[in-house]
Amino acid sequence: DLDIAYVEIAGAGPPLLLIHGFTDTSRSFSLLAPHLAGRRLIMPDLRGHGASQAGDGCRVADFAEDIAGLIRHLRLDRPVVVGHSLGGMVAIALAAWHPGLVGGLVVLAS
């Protein structure tokens, strides 16, 4: 199993899972997070980015499967998935291949 690093901020309501773009990290949402105060935020580093292991593949499908695994690992109940750039493509793939894991989808600049 690949070690996917993530930052979690405790809060209420449906969780928001924020997926960064190519060459970014979970820190790319640091300016947005204060505006979402009170919400539970989960911000992973995609494989090969930030503090996550690189793994063998770097396809959108690989990233989407990693995020599906993280949702299951954290026992998230259908989070709203927000993806920016590459993260948007990952979010779309995740929603298409694992619709039961996603409660909503927001795609930014993808």
Summarised one tens digit per residue, pLDDT across range 44-98 is 999 999 999 998 999 999 999 999 999 999 999 999 999 999 999 999 999 999 9
Walk me through the domains of the chain, giving residue ranges and CATH numbers: 24-108 (3.40.50.12270)
pTM for the model stands at: 0.95
Structure tokens at 96: 């298409």
Q: How far apart are CA 87 and CA 28, in angstroms?
A: 11
- DSSP state, 35? G
Rounded to 5 degrees, φ, ψ at 13 are 80, 180
Structure tokens at 26: 């979970």
Rounded to 5 degrees, φ, ψ at 37 are -55, 140
- DSSP state, 77? S
